Structure 1
Amino acid sequence: MSVPEMFSYIQGFLSADQEIREDIRKVVQVLEQTAREILTLLQSVHQPSGFKEIPSKCQKARELFCTVRTHLGELKTKFPVDQYYRFHEHWRFVLQRLAFLAAFVVYLESESLVTREEVAQILGIEVVREKGFHLDVEDYLAGVLIMASELSRLAVNSVTAGDYSRPLRISNFINELDSGFRLLNLKNDPLRKRYDGLKYDVKKIEEVVYDLSIRGLSKELEAGGDK
């Protein structure tokens, strides 16, 4: 093969690779738009009147996840199945965002931590790497950490809305979450930085709970629970 032929072959390879990346970007843009719609929908729970609407908002969010599954199904077809991590950077952020949204919905519904398997089921993708397009464990953990920040905000807004028991429950949940992350040996730098942010979320929620205690509201809740 001559030098011109060699570079012509390389150019063909680069062009094909660029086409794949462009196709991926188009689908990811649609996914990002749907993720914004879900987030906008769930943001209403932070409003004083939004707590009563949590069940209906979660139901509508789950309906939008049907659209997410359709787009992720399309994304799977845009690249060779064995080259997930070669193109992973294109959808990493939106997948983490979707994992956060799925985790937030499940928390609002049951006040429990969603499993990686449950998130994958909501998104219509795999957990096992060998099966193709999957939810990487680090993307799942990043989504959970984003949810922790959202819950710290929810704790503050709960007090504003007059819901004094919710911050206490959020505090217990976040502390359990923090204990769980302490068991992990995180070497991924972006994930490690997100985990460092969890410490501030814990502190922020503790301040809310402390304020409730100072005002005597936590004691009123405990007394009401005893009755």
Structure 2
Amino acid sequence: MRRRNINAYSRFVAWAKIILPLTGLAILSGLFLFSETSAPDLPVGITKAELNDFASKQRITNPRFAGMTTSGIAIQLSAAEASPDSRDATAYTANDLHAKIEMPDGATIAITALRGTIDSISRFAQLTDEISLTTSDGYVAKTFGLRFSLDQLDITSQGEITAKGPLGLIKAGGLQIISETSGKRGDSGGYVLLFKDGVKLIYKP
């Protein structure tokens, strides 16, 4: 009887190592409207090493987030794949990210990045590596670090940025995109691009 109890307990522990990570993943995935969970198939006989490997590879494929600010600015964010951040239980790490921000008047801002982190509590996305930002009024900017809000218009580059637009080539130490409310944070339905820190313009007549 004692041996049977030990075996039952061992099986319970083994399956708990699978179920608990999946439960945590389900809670975190509440940030997204749509997602698909992906995990490797489990063989009939499961070793301890295989259980640990399975638990460490939990991820969400094709996660998509959509929201709207109080002034009607629509914010969408998607990724090829996301997984819980091992250093922060409230965050995801993701790759191949695409974001689209659409204003009430139809103007848009599109952002792509190779990698990023999405925080479900602060509702901010931190993007890194080969970031491209394109606005519908003709600006295309490149940078290597970008942070933007998921519930208001607040986009800030981290580090130098290069942009091409109607005025020509612009190089600056940073870029901020915020709502058009006298330079203050908030939602008015429009937006302004603020180039900062050693701005250089090569004018295109």
TM-score above 0.5: no
Q: TM-score, normalized by length of structure 2?
A: 0.30
With normalisation by structure 1, the TM-score equals: 0.28
Q: When you count strand as a share of all residues, which structure comes out higher?
A: 2
Q: Which has the higher contact order (CA 8 A, sep 6+)?
A: 1
* More helix per residue: 1
